[in-house]
Structures are given as structure tokens and as C-alpha cells.
Amino acid sequence: AQTVTQSQPEMSVQEAETVTLSCTYDTSESDYYLFWYKQPPSRQMILVIRQEAYKQQNATENRFSVNFQKAAKSFSLKISDSQLGDAAMYFCAYRTYNNNDMRFGAGTRLTVKP
Amino acid sequence: EAGVAQSPRYKIIEKRQSVAFWCNPISGHATLYWYQQILGQGPKLLIQFQNNGVVDDSQLPKDRFSAERLKGVDSTLKIQPAKLEDSAVYLCASRPGTGAGGETQYFGPGTRLLVL
């Protein structure tokens, strides 16, 4: 079974600084998707960034970028120029191409200090 | 484009009572998911629909949980009877399934259930 591990229950960052959230996963598949979702307090979960496993190039979305290491099964999220609005729970998720079951990590709570 | 809608947003019931949640996915999204998110954990898939058919309900506690999507659009999730451990946020998500970005799931605001 595929599992997703987020080893950092909580992280904090100073406003305007950079922070990296870690995620590792376990799979025997070669084709899959990886996602980072953001869940602000009492608000709905929204997609931050996604990566297709066949792509070697790391995905970027404005201030958000990933470091995808397929051999190491690692998928970290880097947030540059952190803003107060980035404070939220961040979930790493995995899904194979054929299996519709999305597996989520336990989440990392990010605090942004002004 | 309207997002995934869910109601109610909050529900408090006593154990052994019944409760139902409603979800309206994004228009045109064929795939619909129900997740259970217990406090401090990531979402766990309960059931997945493709149009009005069930694709995966392997993690649905079928002795007390049921779900339907009769016309392939709206969906309801029911718990009968509820237990204390059912206290959680129930998330609905939908996915286009085709085209660029079709693998991305879009989530509703969730229904927060407290069982006393």
C-alpha cells in the first residue's frame, strides 16, 4: 500500500523568509501524481502545486516550488517570501495514474510570524 | 465557476442518531469523493463515484455509512447510527477526470460533525 509521511507536525517561518516542508512516500509504482494541498483554519482545502512523476523538471507556482526526488521518493515544498496568508495546514498527497485513491499525509501546520 | 458546495457546515448529534450530508460537485465533474478527516489527521477516502456508479467503497464502514449519487450529480452521505468516533470533518471533492489538470481534486468546505 502506498503511504505518505510528513515528518514535521509543525513548522514556523518569519514573514518574507523561506521555508521547506518535507514529504516522503512509499510506492512500487512508476507513474503517479504528487500534490501539495493547503488547508487554512476552518476553510476549504485548495491545491497548491502538483507534479507528475514522469516529469523530471520540478513544478513551480509563483512563490511555491517543489523538490521532487523520484529515486529517494521525496517531494518537498518550498515557500519563498512567506506571507501571513500562507499560515495553514499543508498536506502532501499521492495518487497513481490508475488507482483513484488519493493518499494524504498527516499534515504540517505552518505558522508565519510577522 | 462555482466550487464544490456542501451542507450543512456544522452538525451536532447524539450517539446512535442519524445524520446526512449533502454535496454538489463542480458542474461537469464526473468523479466525486467523500473523505473523512479526523482532527490532526489527513483526509481518508470513504467512497468514490464515477457518474452515478461506485468505483471504490473499500474503506466505507458499510454497517453504518451509506452514500448515493443517484443522478450522477449531487451526492448524499449518511451515518446511521452515529458513534462517538465518527466525529470528524466530512469532505466532498470532485475531479474533472479528463483534460489538462483532470487529475486534480477540488474540495468543498466540509461538514464538521460532532457526536456527543
Q: How far is B93 from chain A (nearest CA, A)?
A: 10
C-alpha cell at A24: 516522503
Task: State the pLDDT confidence band at B46, using cuts at 50, 70 and 90.
Answer: very high
State yes or no: pLDDT of B27 exceeds 70: yes
Which residues touch B47 (CB under 8 Å, ≥6 apart)?
A: B33, B34, B54, B56, B57, B59, B60, B67, B77
C-alpha cell at A29: 509504482
State yes or no: pLDDT of A5 exceeds 70: yes
Please, which residues bridge with residue B106 across strands? Answer: B94
Average pLDDT, chain A: 92
Pick the closest to residue B39 from A89, A46, A23 (CA basis).
Answer: A89
Using an 8 Å CB-CB cutoff, list chain A residues near B40: 106-107
CA nearest to A9 within chain B? B40
* B41 with A50: Cβ contact below 8 A: no
Q: H-type helices in A38-82, by residue range?
A: none
Angle (CA) B5 B90 B1, round 5°: 20
CA nearest to A95 within chain B? B103
**DSSP 8-state symbol, A58:** P
Task: State the pLDDT confidence band at B99, using cuts at 50, 70 and 90.
Answer: low
CA B22/CA A73 separation, integer angstroms: 37
Using an 8 Å CB-CB cutoff, list chain A residues near B104: 35, 47, 50
CA B45/CA A33 separation, integer angstroms: 17
CA nearest to A44 within chain B? B109
A11-50 pLDDT tens trace: 999 999 999 999 999 998 888 999 999 999 877 899 999 9
* A104 with B43: Cβ contact below 8 A: yes
On whether any CB of chain A is under 8 Å from the CB of B103, the answer is yes
B100-115 pLDDT tens trace: 566 788 999 999 999 9
Between A35, A102, A107, which is nearest B45 by CB?
A: A102
Work out whether strand A10-14 and strand A108-113 pair parallel, antiparallel, or are unpaired. parallel
CA B109/CA B9 separation, integer angstroms: 8
Using an 8 Å CB-CB cutoff, list chain A residues near B108: 44
CA A24/CA A106 separation, integer angstroms: 12
State yes or no: pLDDT of B37 exceeds 80: yes
CA nearest to B40 within chain A? A106
Residue B52 parent element (H or E): none
